[in-house]
Amino acid sequence: MLTDKTIGLVLSGGGVRGMAHIGLIKAMKEHGVEAQMVAGTSIGALVGALYANNNTVDEMLTFFKETPIFQYSFFTINKPGFIDTERYAAIFKEYFPHNAFESLKKPLFIAATDLLSGKETMFHSGQLIKPLLASAALPPVFSPVDIDGILYADGGIMNNFPKEYLEERTGFIIGSNVSITVPMQKKDLRNSIQLTGRVTSLMIHASNDEKLHECDLFIEPKELDKIGVLDKKGIENAFLIGYDHGSRALEKIMTKPASS
């Protein structure tokens, strides 16, 4: 039985589309499936932290609905990036008052990118808020986060789906990928910004597609492609898409006859 195994949950980056992760978590709860540990990148790290903190689905959605993406007072001219990522620390402190991985109810592993060495870093102990902010600090919108003199940015630069963090620690892995790549028209590649976005998306997809399909159960809702990465209007829709895909995936695997 699925519930007899140590379950790991892996959550990708992908901006607002990451609300689909919360939809999957709701479906898991309804099916009596609970992950014992979580790994995530960027928005996946944030959702993973809330899940590991035992926040309810409603509390998770409220966090993202009420946390501003673009706030005038957060804009900076003194740091690389348009928005000072560390200004969000006070908001995060309301949800994580002890500011420590050890205060969470489940082990959490999150990926961030060390911009100075050009290497991936996995955080799983000590202070919590700065690594969370760093993992979600998407360049060039959000400034890198200084942790012990090192500048860290979005974990998705190096590892958008950190499944390997849980491979030796769990017996069953559930994955949720919201960095969607679908075919597009030539007319949609008209400028440098669109070209850069497309190339980045393809690079991320290529590096994570194999890992996703190695999961024991995964969702990758193609409908999320219609939702902008930073478009908060898509929060509810992304959540419902994740819930629908999660429910169907769980129904399928839980009604599957046990192998002899």
Output DSSP code: residue 216. S
What does the pLDDT look like over 124-134, one tens digit per residue?
999 999 999 99
Range of the structural domain that residue 111 is part of:
7-255
pLDDT level of residue 5 (50, 70, 90 thresholds): confident
At 110 the pLDDT is 98
Q: Is residue 2 part of a domain?
A: no
Task: Give this prediction's pTM.
Answer: 0.89
Does 42 participate in catalysis according to the annotation?
Answer: yes
Q: Is residue 260 part of a domain?
A: no
- 10 Å Cβ neighbour count for 251? 12
pLDDT level of residue 72 (50, 70, 90 thresholds): very low
Does 84 participate in catalysis according to the annotation?
Answer: no
Query: What whole-number distance in Å separates Cα of residue 89 and Cα of residue 92?
Result: 5
pLDDT level of residue 140 (50, 70, 90 thresholds): confident
Q: What is the CATH number of the domain that holds 213?
A: 3.40.1090.10
pLDDT level of residue 260 (50, 70, 90 thresholds): very low
Cβ-contact 27, 250 below 8 angstroms? yes
Catalytic choice (12, 42, 179, 201): 42
Catalytic choice (84, 114, 154, 179): 154
Residue 167: both structure tokens together:
């491979």
Bridge partners (DSSP) of residue 120 are 113
Q: Is residue 90 part of a domain?
A: yes
